[in-house]
């Protein structure tokens, strides 16, 4: 039997992302979030409009999306109630947040330089996606249940760095989904991906079919 309910939040489960951005003084900010989804090489983020990450994204127009695996749950916890904003927004003070400048240091994570953006990558994350901001829009402005102003960010991924241990083969461009165990957050609790439930019908087709731009018609080779 189903029951009609009104949960405080709809937090059904998404991957945990550590977003690295640059502060106005050139230092790095690192923020955990889990309101993200991907389509092609584009990504949508939903963020508190008052967050330091939102401020940095609007100013710098770039970031790195570092995807946390299950082994990084302790590091994510160390960041969970920290904010790069000073002074803290009132609602974050109420929720128990504290200001912290050195997010990488507190989390025990290391920053590596990126190739196409100025924001650093998180060395310990098996997946690091360099990205630029395409559009910023208000989100949920007409929803009375949205407690604080929120923004949606459309990002375009420029470059994907992936640890070889989660590839199907060392020279492959494909992820081995049995090896990649993303850290998931469901109703504020951590979960792992777990083993494959059963083979997927959708996966029977070639993965390349989702990237027709890689197979655009090339000029015919001229005879010698």
What pLDDT is attached to residue 30? 98
Residue 221 resides in a domain: no
In terms of pLDDT, which residue wins out, 114 or 218?
114
Domain that holds residue 164: 14-215
Handedness of CA 54, 79, 189, 74 (dihedral sign): positive
What pLDDT is attached to residue 7? 80
Residue 220 resides in a domain: no
Distances (CA, A) of 18 to 6, 77, 218: 29, 11, 38
Residue 60 resides in a domain: yes
CA distance 118 to 37: 23
Q: What percent of the chain lies above the pLDDT cut of 90?
A: 66
Residue 53 resides in a domain: yes
Q: Is 212 helix (H, G, I), strand (E, B) or coil?
A: helix
Binned at pLDDT 50, 70 and 90, residue 45 comes out as very high
What pLDDT is attached to residue 219? 55
Is it the case that residue 223 has pLDDT exceeding 80? no
What pLDDT is attached to residue 218? 55
What pLDDT is attached to residue 204? 74
Instruction: Tell me the pLDDT tens digit for each residue of 49-102.
Output: 999 999 999 999 999 999 999 999 999 999 999 999 999 999 899 888 999 999
How many domains are there within the chain? 1
Q: What is the pTM of this model?
A: 0.89
What pLDDT is attached to residue 171? 86
What pLDDT is attached to residue 220? 54
Residue 195 per-residue DSSP state = S
Q: What CATH number does residue 41 fall under?
A: 2.30.110.10
CB atoms under 10 Å from CB of 117, counted, come to: 21
Residue 92 resides in a domain: yes
Residue 76 resides in a domain: yes
Residue 8 resides in a domain: no
Q: Which residues contact 75 (CB under 8 A, 6 or more apart)?
A: 68, 107, 108, 109, 124
Instruction: Tell me the pLDDT tens digit for each residue of 122-181.
Output: 999 999 999 999 999 999 989 888 888 999 999 999 999 999 999 999 888 989 989 999
Residue 116 resides in a domain: yes
Is it the case that residue 201 has pLDDT exceeding 90? no
What pLDDT is attached to residue 222? 59
């Amino acid at each position: 039997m189903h029951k009609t309910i009104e949960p405080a939040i709809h937090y059904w489960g998404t991957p945990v992302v550590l977003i690295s951005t640059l502060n106005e003084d050139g230092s790095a900010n690192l923020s955990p979030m889990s309101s993200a989804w991907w389509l092609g090489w584009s990504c949508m983020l939903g963020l508190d409009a008052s967050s330091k990450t939102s401020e940095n994204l609007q100013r710098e127009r770039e970031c790195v999306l570092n995807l946390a695996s299950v082994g990084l749950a302790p590091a994510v916890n160390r960041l969970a109630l920290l904010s790069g904003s000073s002074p803290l927004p009132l609602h974050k003070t109420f929720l128990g947040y504290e200001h912290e400048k050195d997010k990488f240091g507190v989390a025990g994570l290391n920053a590596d330089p990126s190739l196409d953006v100025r924001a650093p990558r998180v060395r310990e994350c098996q997946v690091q996606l360099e990205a630029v901001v395409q559009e910023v829009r208000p989100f949920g402005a007409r929803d009375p249940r949205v407690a604080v102003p929120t923004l949606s960010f459309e990002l375009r991924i420029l470059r994907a760095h992936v640890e070889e241990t989660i590839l199907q083969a060392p020279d492959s461009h494909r992820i081995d989904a049995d090896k990649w165990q993303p850290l998931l957050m469901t109703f504020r609790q951590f979960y792992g991906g777990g083993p494959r439930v059963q083979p997927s019908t959708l996966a029977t087709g070639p993965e390349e079919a989702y990237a027709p731009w890689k197979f655009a018609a090339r000029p015919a080779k001229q005879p010698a």
